[in-house]
A and B are shown apart, each in its own frame.
Chain A
Amino acid sequence: METIAVSTVTPVYHGATTLPALVAALAAERDAWAESGLPVRLLEAVFVDDGSSDGSADVLATLANAHPFIRVVTLSRNFGQHPATIAGTLHTSGDWVVTLDEDLQHHPCFILKLLGEAVRRQVDVVYAKPDGRVHQRSWYRDLASRGAKSLVARLTGNANVRLFNSYRLMRGAVARAASAVAVHDAYFDMLLAWFTNRVSGLDLPMVDGRHTDTGSSGYNLRRLLSHLRRLLMSAEVNYLRVGAALGILGMAVAGVLGVLTIVLYFVAPERILVAGWASLFVAVVFFGGLTALLIGVLFEYFSTVRQQTQGKPTFYVVDRSDDTLLQEVLNELQQTAAERETAC
């Protein structure tokens, strides 16, 4: 039977204690899918050891011996979550790729639900949206995260930024294409936007267990700001166009003021109290606007060159024909997804 293959990718950093539970959950999903008779299979689960020093490598080796569908990729040092996700994605060959955190904050029992959503809405990426507070003991973390995403969404003109989450299901070809062009310090989800705008979100229960249990989280203000910086650096320069627009506005204002000053000079010269001040002001506003405009144009050129260097495609061809296989069994898929959700 022809099947749709799903791969998972999990960046691992100091996850020795949580990995066995995650692998057990993945194995349970794999078995449940196989028993369901659906044309879907969990092909592989790729774990990327991102320079852990807590024995995660040994735990992964043991788990890989016990479960043949586990693949382990070991990075030479700690590179960070996004590079690890990119490395893992490039090691997958599934039709769909799901990225999961190592601590079961992203439970695999929702993968079928995400897949059902992707097929139903005919999209290429589905982000999980927390349906409540992720950090239950500190509301301000969630608020800060949401606020930062909204700010970037406004600055970049990319409304999907609000959906960004590390629990995501992506069409395999699109995910690998975005990973293949990723350069150092790239924000993975921004690259996805180069290849697709068929993006959706799905409300799911997500709780940062580590934060709930211990009060500490992998994310702090410094990391939040770092994320924000990378988001902006990976984005197109839409927000810099605001500067160029202000420059044009400045020049226009200077033009109007200049005309008024000339008219005033001939019509009512007695109202000019300080000679030369108005023309100096007009000249400053005009050349300030011109400078802002030229800097905006320069940034526009720079942005074009940068995107070309980063590998932004002129176009990308995608094949969605395999989706019909799941569309034909969408009801059964959604029913099994609901059962799996209940099971966890």
Chain B
Amino acid sequence: MLIVQSEQQSIALFGVGLIGSAIAEALQRRTGAPATGLRLRWASQDDFADDLQSVMQALEWRTAAGARPAVVWSAGAGGFGAAESETRAELQRFEQLVGALERLAAVRDVKPDFHLVSSGGGLFEGRRAVTTATQPASARPYSALKLAQEAAITSRRHFRRIRIYRPSSVYGRIRPGHRLGLVSTLIRNGIARQVTHLVGRTHTLRDFVHADDIGGFVAREVLSATAPDQRPPCMLAAGKPSSVQEVQRAIESVLGYRTFISFDLRSNNDADTTFAPNSLPTRWQPRPLLEGVRGVVEDYKSFQPDSWRRRQSDLDG
């Protein structure tokens, strides 16, 4: 996790994976503030409670100095295919955090902001032209977890502002340890000239958004000093469905050569999931797929794993 300390705000960011690192980068770019890394011990409830105490102390200390506390939760160890045991553990950690924030609010008499990165792709799996009026469903443990997390924060009154973001299918820079997703996997394997084994079909539709677009949007929301309020969850989607074939075509046009996919048709993951553009928030400007793919390809080609690992270990303290 990271704590970003600006003059006005003290922001605790839980989860620095694909989306979290994009949020962290956008926050640092916008504030120019230093970030402190802290390695959380997620496996044990007690260890996590100890680590959480350190985080809360840091937040409390900064809050005493006049900084407004904000928490961004973009963690998710298990991912889309997480087992129920994994999601149960993650929900426990989440509730530990919410409880700790409630205590902070009571002690310091200051209500923190809470920003939750939920999952549009998970909550609306197999649904087409999803709008804000579409009711989410929990088809998997992962989506049940996200719904439970949303409910856990919206039911509390100890937060000044609550923002819930529901990104669709996310892709972004390819980094060790980050979840890849379809687009990035195709790019990585395309560059390595390897065959991608895909669960789905050529015409399966998804709505792909770049992690950096989400990062920029969330960072802007975190830093905006608006009045206390609680808005309905917002969809962070492109509003334009793309088939696997379209993604493949975009990647091939950037790479300049053919890529190869083998399809596993025995899947339960080939239902179309698409989002209507009408329900997207204002000021949300997702980049076109081709532009995003080009960025990921260029970034991956120039990626230096060693220097990246050094930077990460510096952040981790």
Residues of A within 8 A of B (CB): 5, 43-44, 64, 68, 70-73, 90-94, 172-173, 176-177, 179-181, 311, 313, 316-319
Chain B: number of interface residues, binned into ranges: 20 to 34
B203 touches A176 (CB 8 A): yes
Could you list 20 examples of A-B contacts with CB < 8 Å?
A: A44-B276, A64-B278, A68-B276, A71-B276, A71-B277, A71-B278, A90-B240, A91-B241, A93-B129, A93-B272, A176-B203, A176-B205, A176-B245, A177-B203, A179-B246, A180-B242, A181-B249, A311-B249, A317-B203, A319-B201
A71 contact set on B, CB distance < 8 A: 239, 276-278
Give A75 Cβ to nearest chain B Cβ, in Å.
12
- A-contact bits for B198-209, CB 8 A (1 contact / 0 none): 000111010000
Measured between alpha carbons, how far is A93 from B201 in the docked complex, in Å?
15
> Which secondary structure dominates where chain B touches chain A?
loop
Kindly list the 7 A-B residue pairs having the minimum CB-CB distance in the complex, ordered from nearest: A173-B203, A180-B246, A93-B274, A93-B241, A93-B128, A91-B240, A180-B249
Cβ-closest chain A residue relative to B205:
A93
Known: A91-B240, A91-B241, A317-B201. A44 touches B249 (CB 8 A): no
Give A67 Cβ to nearest chain B Cβ, in Å.
10
Cβ-closest chain A residue relative to B133:
A68
Cβ-closest chain B residue relative to A313:
B245
B240 contact set on A, CB distance < 8 A: 90-91
A92 touches B241 (CB 8 A): yes
Residues of B within 8 A of A (CB): 128-129, 131, 133, 201-203, 205, 239-243, 245-246, 249, 252, 263, 272, 274, 276-278
A173 contact set on B, CB distance < 8 A: 202-203, 243
Give B256 Cβ to nearest chain A Cβ, in Å.
10
User: A-B contact count, CB below 8 Å?
Assistant: 68
A43 touches B129 (CB 8 A): yes
Picked from B241, B245, B278, the residue with its CB within 8 Å of the CB of A177 is B245
Give A49 Cβ to nearest chain B Cβ, in Å.
13
Picked from A68, A90, A93, the residue with its CB within 8 Å of the CB of B278 is A68
A92 contact set on B, CB distance < 8 A: 241
A73 contact set on B, CB distance < 8 A: 277
Measured between alpha carbons, how far is A319 from B204 in the docked complex, in Å?
10
Known: A93-B129, A176-B246. A316 touches B202 (CB 8 A): yes
Measured between alpha carbons, how far is A176 from B201 in the docked complex, in Å?
14
Known: A43-B129, A91-B241, A92-B241. A177 touches B202 (CB 8 A): yes
Give A313 Cβ to nearest chain B Cβ, in Å.
8
Known: A91-B240, A181-B249. A68 touches B131 (CB 8 A): yes
A44 touches B129 (CB 8 A): yes
A317 contact set on B, CB distance < 8 A: 201-203, 263
Measured between alpha carbons, how far is A13 from B133 in the docked complex, in Å?
31
Cβ-closest chain A residue relative to B130:
A93
B249 contact set on A, CB distance < 8 A: 180-181, 311
B201 contact set on A, CB distance < 8 A: 317, 319
Measured between alpha carbons, how far is A70 from B131 in the docked complex, in Å?
12
A-B contact sample (18 more), CB < 8 A, given A68-B276, A71-B276: A43-B128, A64-B278, A71-B239, A71-B277, A71-B278, A72-B277, A73-B277, A91-B241, A93-B241, A173-B203, A176-B241, A176-B243, A177-B246, A180-B242, A181-B249, A311-B249, A317-B203, A319-B203
A68 contact set on B, CB distance < 8 A: 131, 133, 276, 278
Give B120 Cβ to nearest chain A Cβ, in Å.
14
Measured between alpha carbons, how far is A172 from B203 in the docked complex, in Å?
9
A90 touches B246 (CB 8 A): yes
Measured between alpha carbons, how far is A311 from B241 in the docked complex, in Å?
19
A172 contact set on B, CB distance < 8 A: 203
A313 contact set on B, CB distance < 8 A: 245
A180 touches B245 (CB 8 A): yes
Cβ-closest chain A residue relative to B256:
A309
Give A192 Cβ to nearest chain B Cβ, in Å.
14
B241 contact set on A, CB distance < 8 A: 90-93, 176
Known: A68-B131, A311-B249, A317-B201. A91 touches B243 (CB 8 A): no
B205 contact set on A, CB distance < 8 A: 93, 176
Measured between alpha carbons, how far is A151 from B278 in the docked complex, in Å?
44
Measured between alpha carbons, how far is A179 from B203 in the docked complex, in Å?
12
B242 contact set on A, CB distance < 8 A: 90, 180
Cβ-closest chain A residue relative to B248:
A180
Give B190 Cβ to nearest chain A Cβ, in Å.
15
Give A77 Cβ to nearest chain B Cβ, in Å.
15
Give B260 Cβ to nearest chain A Cβ, in Å.
11
B263 contact set on A, CB distance < 8 A: 317
